[in-house]
Structure 1
Amino acid sequence: MDDHATTLPQGEPWWRFPLVWMVIAGPALVVIASFVTLWLALRTPDPVVAADYYRRGIEINRTLADKKLMPALAGRNHAATPDADVPAPRR
């Protein structure tokens, strides 16, 4: 009565089915992408923020407030005006 086991068709090995490789490809690509990301992160580390970043920012703001660095429209309107008569830019 054990004929039932011998009458089942023998299937192909699992690696012969393309759908299996599609299922394996997703996680495999994620693993490869994570290693590439790790390699990029280790190869090009982020620069350290300067300890005096706040002071540098204040200096940049002072420089930008200079009348000579005003917006283009205001600068064009006062191109022939002497520096002493040029109004300060609005904030």
Structure 2
Amino acid sequence: MTTSYTTPSGKDTMPWWKYKMVWLVIGGPLVVVVASFVTLGLAIRYPDPVLESVVVATPDAAHQPAMQARNHAATGGVK
């Protein structure tokens, strides 16, 4: 016994890969996955250099406005 599957309108359906909407749905996440592997490869191949930290023991004149604003924000304006 042979069974034939047709749509209610009587037309044969296309395979899933022939619908453009399927490739739109699959293509978006696929592009993101490929881009993440490219980013990982770049991060492994060209790592960021380690920067030496600079510790300022005494605040000089260049840092005074920042220190004053920080203290003002921390105390709520009390001098």
4+ runs deviating over 4 angstroms: none
The alignment yields a C-alpha RMSD, in angstroms, of 2.9
Aligned position for 1:19? 21
Give TM-score, length-normalised by structure 2.
0.55
- Asked which structure has the greater CA Rg, the reply is 1
Ranges in structure 2 where 5+ consecutive residues have no aligned partner: 65-79
Find the aligned partners of 2:4 and 2:20 in 1 and give their Cα distance: 27
Q: What is the identity percentage for the equivalent residue pairs of Structure 1 and Structure 2?
A: 41
- Number of corresponding residues: 60
1:10 aligns with 2:27: no
Q: Which has the higher contact order (CA 8 A, sep 6+)?
A: 1
SS of the equivalent of 1:6 reads coil
TM-score where L is the length of structure 1: 0.49
Q: Gaps spanning 5+ residues in structure 1: where?
A: 71-89
**More helix as a share of residues:** 1
